């Protein structure tokens, strides 16, 4: 009888479903975590963002790696194995792997929750001579633990966390995350951390509210994803993309603002959500840093900042943090 009662119950939502339910039922500010932007369409829209003239971040990140990869890897004693948190398209990573593979054969562990992105990256990187790829389809820290467990005595682990993804964490959570990463490393291991820097407010706003509307589409796709995966009836035309700069927190905040008072049905969660006219769903924080902030963040989390490389065209910092 007990078993029958249990099996008759609706499944308890987990992951995306649970986070959407909790985030939309919140009595104050509604909220959906930014990690859910990246379904198939969302990832394609992000790739389009990276080529927008207004969004210099990804090009700056790549430029620094292209120019300084040899210098970066020469600061680490050989042999080095590489683990990357979030493999992305792999375009930037190539420079680091090529520089390393000129010294010795390299094992590369991309860590990524999207199976499609992981497969694409593995295919790209295994085309580099003397690089062997072993990917992990897991959350960052689970994957890093698995990668760290496979290294052989004497190998130095280099963790890549590029693209200023660290900026998506709240400052407190970001610090906690770096401490957890440090906990999986040995003294002398390293973390190459990409961080977007504070710059003029108009430049930051344009990067997240481009006139072509790509970032708006990227943001609105979150509602499309809820429609597709949770059988909801969001009318995307009734929501507006909003990007603001919060000067106190030094971050861009993205929201989706309801243009009218409306009620939305989410069949997959058996719930309705009411929106007041002008009410928003908070979808992303993108923190901006100063070079000194990164240095002290490193110090507080068990690293020392060994070197920083800055891009002049689009203020961005590549930081080599060494575990101490
Ligand atoms: C991939 C997290 C670095 O915060 O700039 C781009 C995501 N959001 N445009 C960022 C994003 C809106 C991006 N990161």
pLDDT in tens, 208-262: 999 999 999 999 999 999 999 999 999 999 999 999 999 999 999 999 999 999 9
Residue 9's pLDDT band, with cuts at 50, 70 and 90, is: low
Report, in this order, helix, strand and coil percent for the chain, each rounded to 5.
40, 25, 30
Substitution site in 54, 199, 206, 284 for ligand 1 pocket (most atoms within 8 Å of beta carbon): 284
Average pLDDT over residues 181-209: 98
Q: Where on the phi/psi map is residue 243: left (φ > 0), alpha (ψ -120 to 50), or beta?
A: beta
Give the distance (Å) from ligand 1 centre to CA of residue 133.
Answer: 26
Residue 7's pLDDT band, with cuts at 50, 70 and 90, is: very low
Q: Is the pLDDT of residue 56 over 50?
A: yes
Ligand 1, CB within 6 Å, residue ranges: 49, 57, 163-165, 167-168, 208, 215, 284, 286
Residue nearest to atom 1 of ligand 1 (CA): 165
Residue 13's pLDDT band, with cuts at 50, 70 and 90, is: low
Determine the Cα angle at 187 with ends 183 and 190, to 5°. Answer: 80
Residue 57's pLDDT band, with cuts at 50, 70 and 90, is: very high
Encode pLDDT of 91-119 as tens digits.
Answer: 899 999 999 999 999 999 999 988 888 99
Query: Would you tell me how many other CB atoms lie within 10 Å of the CB of residue 87?
Result: 26
Give the distance (Å) from ligand 1 centre to CA of residue 134.
Answer: 26
Give the distance (Å) from ligand 1 centre to CA of residue 120.
Answer: 20
Beta strands, E only, 247-302: 251-258, 262-266, 271-275, 280-287
Residue nearest to atom 9 of ligand 1 (CA): 208
Residue 151's pLDDT band, with cuts at 50, 70 and 90, is: very high
Q: Is the pLDDT of residue 133 over 50?
A: yes
- 3-state per-residue secondary structure call for 180-243: HHHHCCCCCCEEEEEEEECCCHHHHHHHHCCCCCHHHHHHHHHHHHHHHHHCECCCHHHEEEEE
Strand partners, 30: 281
7 vs 57: CA distance, rounded Å: 49
Give the distance (Å) from ligand 1 centre to CA of residue 150.
Answer: 31
Give the chain's mean pLDDT: 94
Substitution site in 38, 286, 289 for ligand 1 pocket (most atoms within 8 Å of beta carbon): 286
Residue nearest to atom 2 of ligand 1 (CA): 165
Residue 5's pLDDT band, with cuts at 50, 70 and 90, is: very low
Residue nearest to atom 14 of ligand 1 (CA): 165
**Token duo for residue 171:** 């400052």
pLDDT at residue 314 in the model: 98
Do 111 and 144 contact (CB within 8 A), yes or no? yes
Q: Number of C-alpha atoms within 13 angstroms, CB side, residue 60? A: 21
pLDDT at residue 6 in the model: 47
Strand partners, 106: 131
Give the distance (Å) from ligand 1 centre to CA of residue 164.
Answer: 8
Given strand 251-258, what is the order of strands in its sheet? Answer: 30-31, 280-287, 251-258, 239-246
Q: Is the pLDDT of residue 62 over 90?
A: yes
């Amino acid at each position: 009888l007990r078993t029958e009662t249990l099996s008759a119950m609706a499944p308890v939502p987990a992951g995306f479903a649970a986070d959407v339910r909790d985030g939309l039922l919140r009595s104050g500010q509604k909220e959906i975590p930014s990690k859910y932007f990246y379904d198939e369409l969302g990832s394609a829209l992000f790739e389009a963002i990276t080529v927008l003239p207004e969004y210099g971040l990804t090009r700056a990140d790549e430029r620094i790696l292209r120019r300084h990869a040899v210098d970066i890897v020469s600061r680490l004693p050989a042999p080095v194995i590489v683990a990357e948190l979030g493999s992305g398209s792999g375009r930037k990573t190539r420079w680091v792997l090529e520089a390393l593979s000129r010294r010795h054969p390299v094992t590369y562990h991309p860590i990524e929750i999207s199976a499609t992105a992981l497969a694409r990256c593995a295919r790209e990187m295994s085309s580099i001579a003397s690089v062997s790829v072993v990917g992990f389809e897991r959350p960052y820290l689970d994957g890093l633990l698995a990668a760290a467990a496979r290294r052989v005595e004497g190998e130095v682990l280099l963790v890549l966390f590029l693209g200023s993804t660290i900026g998506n964490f709240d400052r407190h959570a970001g610090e906690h995350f770096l401490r957890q990463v440090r906990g999986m490393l040995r003294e002398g291991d390293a973390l190459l951390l990409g961080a977007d820097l504070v710059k003029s407010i108009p430049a930051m706003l344009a990067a997240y509210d481009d006139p072509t509307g790509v970032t708006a589409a990227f943001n609105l796709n979150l509602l499309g994803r809820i429609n597709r995966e949770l059988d909801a009836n969001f009318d995307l035309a009734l929501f507006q993309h909003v990007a603001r700069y919060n000067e106190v927190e030094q971050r861009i905040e993205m929201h989706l603002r309801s243009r009218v008072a409306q009620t939305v049905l989410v069949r997959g969660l058996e719930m309705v959500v009411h929106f007041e006219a002008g009410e928003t769903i908070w979808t992303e924080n993108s923190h901006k840093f100063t070079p000194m902030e990164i240095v002290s963040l490193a110090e507080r989390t068990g690293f020392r900042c060994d070197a920083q490389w800055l891009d002049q065209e689009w203020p961005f910092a590549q930081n080599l943090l060494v575990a101490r």
